[in-house]
Structure 1
């Protein structure tokens, strides 16, 4: 019996049922999160960092710079790809409570400074000393001088503050170089800290595509061997069938030798011509295998699985809001591409919910969107008056800034949207539902689950 193996919701292949105990031990020692479904005979693996929360803060006041957001935006991508929840915020320091990592990054230009330097505002909190140590070790490898200061303020928060100080008028090329180095080593320091604290191996937070490079044999050997056996059996069956068309079945081996001899002497007979045609047909059939990769035009259909994955953060204080950090996953389960998905989030009650995260108003896309080598990336509200429409209908309409195409069996995620709300009266609750529209809004897919918080 074979067991289905999934990683982060994506099918990885199969493995023998008999290997289940050893595989569970392997996952435990390396830090993977494993869930065994005995009813469906299915293993669901997740990153060892799933459920861990990191909050990244920009700036030191109510003003942030595009440079700070660019650096932390890259760190967010690095860490999110490792399986943890990463929130990028500006000035809401209350988010730092009940999180695993909280870091503030700021940038300051100083006229008299000759070389760039990184300032660690050293915290005396023993719980954060290990994180500071890992970050210092990594940052020292960036080639930027590191210095440390202990703030005089005794009312220190759990946020670790790192400031990049630069000479005035540093050119753009150097700024970009510093940004890449800082983002890489900052993310590496966070991962090292979590690795040491959780006693897990780095394999446990590699994304699925990289894991397949290491463990493709583990997940795909069974499927490959079955196909190999099936192909060999099919070829043998075809050979025997054609040979037996005019020869006695109890003398097959002798007749094969006779036919081979006939081929050498070019004495072609009718049975050999039949065998040649059968081999040609077999080669053509192998060339179009598997059939699922070449669907008939009449069988084209659009389908998708849409579901929420979210984390709820709340404080014991009734004066502070609950924070819900969510991701809406869209997996293309059909056999045609899904283009330019538009997300509609329906919330209730409307007047109790505030929408946040990295969604930009249309007017700010040109100046605030994340720039990449292929252009601007991210998500935006669909209309300029998005807030008024949300208050009126309870719907937030969100679209990707760049063209997005989801190929069959691929997944696109609307990541890290944030919804904050105060505690509701007893018997009441907060509900968030989702719908995704694709292909010029010709097809739509409601989410398989919804977010509901009851009080």
Structure 2
């Protein structure tokens, strides 16, 4: 007795009844929802997203709608709906601000064309129930791939259901250029992030999201015996000797790349005569290339120079050498690069380098932690700014940080 196999509403073939337990176990491990029906002698395979209800909509609570691109926003959402529906999810695209749907996941989206920015920015706002590490990693990777700055903010929200709110800002370009260069990529990236959210605990379950016909086409068909389970790669191994030299091992270009970014917290002490402002943060250097990066040199440029002091776990050059001699071992960490470091800081530049030789391997992040930035003479209506630059002299590589510290001190009303 054979059982019919149905994928969704399509018949995909038959299997012997005695193979049903093994078949069920295999496809459950691959992430399918397996539903045997002995009465009708069939077994149905459904994707891991089958029965999941996802609501996607524009964010109608967002303020500052002057630069809102509603028609492109809707187009991105329609593509996301198409992609998720093909994976088996029930997707509801809300056109207006209505009562919230009872769903497994909510996605809010807004798109802005901002004249004053030079590169796109994607900000992901979420609550504690909505994300996992895989989702954040996917969004960070996809943003890097499209040349988009990525920001993630977790908010304390009264929402009981998990949600993400995605806000994208991009420079002024034509609608056609936006869609060709960014729009379709964003729709795919957001979809991939949503899929990662549902499948982190079972990575193989993503196989259930792909139409099973694709797997069938990966095998060689034979008219005599039906499906030949020998992969096409095995067939390539039987090429005549004179053609084997045509099969070349792929080569990947070497890349020297890094990403530099700052995170920080602001502390304000209020006094009668003058407030004290202090920032504590970290500078992160992530190797996103394929080559080892050696001996980073950091330059922190601050304005106005006379109002800012930068300190932290950074040693003067002579102190670093003295500690190394006293301990009779290599002192690790960071030091000011030059003996005239104090005079350089007064002029608005702070140069920092590793005490000992430091390598940053691909996918590794090295951090200058506990940076302390004090605003010595905060004046009303002044703009405090700190920029970071990293230099790798051996590799002739220079990188500016993807963000900067910027404070506008205004008069208290």
More strand by share: 2
Task: Tell me the TM-score normalised to structure 1 length.
Answer: 0.43
Task: Tell me the TM-score normalised to structure 2 length.
Answer: 0.47
